[in-house]
């Protein structure tokens, strides 16, 4: 399975795209004393993170969230769609995020803390928590404490995800505590690819990320969750995203760059009937932002949105132009968190706390923001009698409605996160039948037609990377891809 292998040139392009004066030269060691400054290392760390979170993991999440499925006339993502990825398939994710992005962010934190440059420290610390969070939710364990010590420890111990999460919360609390000190310093500007040095937004991002991690264990963290909701200083209108991409080779959104420029066919990613059925049932206007129209077979000049059953890449009959391709754009941002996600998190938390009124308010705001991302109006959908009207009910009924909308909002945004949410909440539920069968409920997951797993099993994690197990004897023993984690719904 091919991977995104454009990281060096890609990072250099990213720096020039957003106007940073110091170009990244892949022929020079970025860790030499003359190069290792927070001004260079921070954008490098963010760019490394974006390349994989917005590339490989965004694509993986979209397939496993059943937004997308593999085209039946090509084969690029078959192993993803049938749940048969191997231990080496995501080695570059591990090396780029852990060995690249996190290393640069760790160095930024070390240097800026020593010099009191909290305006660099906070973005680096919050961004490193985001990276650790994504990795630990995919792998269940991480060498958080010892993994970035380099030659000082070549066999770092991996820690359980619950332990890592507690340490991530502590790291966020420490970053948040430095907010006033950072605001008192000059804004750092274009080397901050996400908020351009706006520390107040970084603090909101930190608190939103804290809420997200706390929700992995709602019962144990209920008091802390309530405190964050009461304080209210969470992402509200702005997204934590990297922009500045352009429709130029090696300067595009990483998933677009790989799927639409680097492959020998550009029609691998097609609409999954799972998502498409839900959008059609509800006449959701975002359908055209997510998928292209396809030619209707046997009806010249007629077009429609036509999907493929999840994992049915062995389907015979439809030609490439007769199924809907996913819409991707060279200029798509890479999202690390979004205002809509923040509102949905708050809605879920209020629902679990038993406050249906506040849950509805946050839910309506989340749906509105998710529609507005694509210049669409959600007002009729969330109004009384609308397709997405929020109705007070049992906790599970409310959570189901919230997570379903969050699942749709994650398309072309944070598909990896909707994969996490399904594992955490069980929504969308897994249907016992396919999308064409009587009794199928639009939007419910189906089992991949060509699944490599048994029964109704679906993937729950990435396999521990071979690049780690080959060199570190402390890498955890292999577990199956469908093995649940401690925070997954049992």
Give the model's confidence band at 158: pLDDT under 50 very low, under 70 low, under 90 confident, else very high: very high
Task: Tell me 445's DSSP state.
Answer: B
Query: What value does the mean pLDDT take over residues 396-402?
Result: 99
Instruction: Report the DSSP beta bridge partners of residue 430.
Output: 445
Whether residue 94 is contained in a domain is answered as yes
Whether residue 336 is contained in a domain is answered as no
Give the model's confidence band at 29: pLDDT under 50 very low, under 70 low, under 90 confident, else very high: very low
Listing DSSP states for 88-142 in one string gives TTTHHHIIIIIIIIHHHHHHHHHHHHHHT-HHHHHHHHHHHHHHHHHHHHHHSEE
Number of domains the chain is built from: 1
- In the chain, the largest separation of any two C-alpha atoms, in whole Å, equals 69
| 144 has pLDDT over 80 | yes
Give the model's confidence band at 152: pLDDT under 50 very low, under 70 low, under 90 confident, else very high: confident
Task: Tell me 432's DSSP state.
Answer: S
Q: How far apart are CA 198 and CA 226, in angstroms?
A: 26
Listing DSSP states for 38-55 in one string gives HHHHHHHHHHHHHHIIII
Contacts of 470 (CB under 8 A, 6+ apart): none
What is the per-residue pLDDT for 35? 66
Give the model's confidence band at 260: pLDDT under 50 very low, under 70 low, under 90 confident, else very high: very high
Beta-sheet pairing, 303-304 with 334-337: unpaired
Whether residue 21 is contained in a domain is answered as yes
What is the per-residue pLDDT for 12? 45
State the chain's mean pLDDT as an integer.
93
Whether residue 437 is contained in a domain is answered as no
Reported as a single tens digit per residue, the pLDDT across 295-348 is: 999 999 999 999 999 999 999 988 999 999 999 999 999 999 999 999 999 999
Whether residue 137 is contained in a domain is answered as yes
Kindly tell me the number of DSSP H helices and DSSP E strands found in the chain. 20, 8
Listing DSSP states for 341-389 in one string gives HHHHHHHHHHHHHT-HHHHHHHHHHHHHHHHHTTT---HHHHSTTSTT-
| 27 has pLDDT over 70 | no
Whether residue 146 is contained in a domain is answered as yes
Whether residue 361 is contained in a domain is answered as no
Reported as a single tens digit per residue, the pLDDT across 162-211 is: 999 999 999 999 999 999 999 999 999 999 999 999 999 999 999 999 99
| 19 has pLDDT over 60 | no
What is the per-residue pLDDT for 383? 99
Q: How far apart are CA 144 and CA 166, in angstroms?
A: 11
Whether residue 292 is contained in a domain is answered as no
Reported as a single tens digit per residue, the pLDDT across 60-107 is: 999 999 999 999 999 999 999 999 999 999 999 999 999 899 999 999
| 20 has pLDDT over 90 | no
| Contact between residue 182 and residue 119 where contact means Cβ atoms under 8 Å apart | yes
Q: How far apart are CA 242 and CA 248, in angstroms?
A: 17
Structural domain range at position 128: 1-237+244-269+459-490
| 274 has pLDDT over 80 | yes
Q: How far apart are the first and last CA of the chain?
A: 32
| 4 has pLDDT over 70 | no
Which tokens go with 297? Answer: 């077979």
Reported as a single tens digit per residue, the pLDDT across 204-245 is: 999 999 999 999 999 999 999 999 999 999 999 999 999 999
Reported as a single tens digit per residue, the pLDDT across 106-123 is: 999 999 999 999 999 999
CATH number of the domain where residue 263 is located: 1.25.40.390
Give the model's confidence band at 407: pLDDT under 50 very low, under 70 low, under 90 confident, else very high: very high
What is the per-residue pLDDT for 349? 99
Record the pTM.
0.93
């Amino acid at each position: 399975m091919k991977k995104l292998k454009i990281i060096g040139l890609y990072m250099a392009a990213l720096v020039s795209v957003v106007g940073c004066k110091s170009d990244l030269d892949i022929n020079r060691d970025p860790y030499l004393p003359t190069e290792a400054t927070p001004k260079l290392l921070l954008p490098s760390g963010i760019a490394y993170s974006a390349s994989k979170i917005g590339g490989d993991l965004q694509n993986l999440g979209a397939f496993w969230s059943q937004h997308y499925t593999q085209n039946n006339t090509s084969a690029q993502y078959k192993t993803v769609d049938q749940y048969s990825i191997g231990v080496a398939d995501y080695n570059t994710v591990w090396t780029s995020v852990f060995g690249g992005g996190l290393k640069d962010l760790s160095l930024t934190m070390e240097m800026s803390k020593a010099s009191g440059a909290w305006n660099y420290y906070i973005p680096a610390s919050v961004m490193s928590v985001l990276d650790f969070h994504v990795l630990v939710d995919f792998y269940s364990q991480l060498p958080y404490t010892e993994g970035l010590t380099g030659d000082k420890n070549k066999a770092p111990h991996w820690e359980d995800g619950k332990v890592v999460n507690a340490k991530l919360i502590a790291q966020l609390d420490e970053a948040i505590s430095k907010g006033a000190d950072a605001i008192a310093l000059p804004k750092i500007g274009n080397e901050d690819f996400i908020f351009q040095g706006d520390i107040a937004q970084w603090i909101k991002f930190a608190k939103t990320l804290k809420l997200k991690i706390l929700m992995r264990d709602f019962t144990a963290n209920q008091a802390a969750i309530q405190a964050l909701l009461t304080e209210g200083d969470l992402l509200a209108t702005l997204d934590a995203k990297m922009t500045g991409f352009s429709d130029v080779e090696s300067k595009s959104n990483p998933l677009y760059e790989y799927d639409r420029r680097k492959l020998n066919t550009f029609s691998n990613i097609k609409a999954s009937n799972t998502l498409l059925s839900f959008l059609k049932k509800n006449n959701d206007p975002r359908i055209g932002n997510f998928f292209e129209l396809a030619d209707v077979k046997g009806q010249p000049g007629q077009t429609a949105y036509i999907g493929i059953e999840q994992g049915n890449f062995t389907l015979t009959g439809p030609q490439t132009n007769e199924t809907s391709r996913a819409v991707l754009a060279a200029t798509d941002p890479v999202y690390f968190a979004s205002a809509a996600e923040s509102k949905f998190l708050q809605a879920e938390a209020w629902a679990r706390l038993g406050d249906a009124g506040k849950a509805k308010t946050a839910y309506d705001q989340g749906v509105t923001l998710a529609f507005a991302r694509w210049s669409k109006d959600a007002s009729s959908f969330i109004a009384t009698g609308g397709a997405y009207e929020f109705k007070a009910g049992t906790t599970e009924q409310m959570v189901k409605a919230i997570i379903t909308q969050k699942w749709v909002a994650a398309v072309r945004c944070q598909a990896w996160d909707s994969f996490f949410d399904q594992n955490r909440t069980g929504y969308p539920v897994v249907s016992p039948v396919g999308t064409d069968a009587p009794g199928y409920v639009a939007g419910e997951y189906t089992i991949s037609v060509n699944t490599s797993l048994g029964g109704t099993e679906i993937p729950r994690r990435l396999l521990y990377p071979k690049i780690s197990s080959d060199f570190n004897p402390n890498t955890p023993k292999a577990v199956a891809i469908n093995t649940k984690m401690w925070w997954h719904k049992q």
